[in-house]
Structure 1
Amino acid sequence: MTSRTDDIRLGADIGGTFTDIALDVRGTMFSTKVLTNYSAPEQAILDGIAIVIRDAGISPSEIGIIIHGTTLATNALIERRGAKTALV
């Protein structure tokens, strides 16, 4: 049985074209880059996590910290895509 420890950290950044995943396992880094899927951006994170945990030989339950970032909202604003909104 495995247990969660805070010395295994996962970072995910959903970008406009690619989603980057980085896994730090006690100082050893594993990373991958997968295409971002605009209709289901979470799928790129799930696919990337599967790759890095396989490469690291750990189970998801061992990950102690998850850090998430995205530029999807910023890109939508700059490119004038998405729902019409107003700041009141």
Structure 2
Amino acid sequence: MATGHAAAAETLLTAVRTSIEATGAQLVFLPPYSPDLSPIELMFSKVKSQTRRLEARSKTTVSEAIRVALEAVRPKDCAGWFQHCLFPQCL
């Protein structure tokens, strides 16, 4: 069964890669463990901090707190995280 899943994953990866490259975009892969180059780690930090600040204690309030925290992420934040992770210098 794992072989079937691996083949399906590889097929999907190929299709996604082809679709992205067809737009003229270039895929750039990170080393296996590189949190210092991963803007998503900075986003997770902001979302977790905001979620904690809302002091949610039930499943419903945690879900709502996460939604509110995600809505607080702005394009300006994302641009700053990419700058902080040295993407312009690495490309």
* TM bucket, shorter chain: 0.3 to 0.5
For normalisation by structure 2, the TM-score amounts to 0.33
Q: Which has the larger radius of gyration?
A: 2
Structure with greater proportional helix content? 2
For normalisation by structure 1, the TM-score amounts to 0.33
Structure with greater proportional strand content? 1
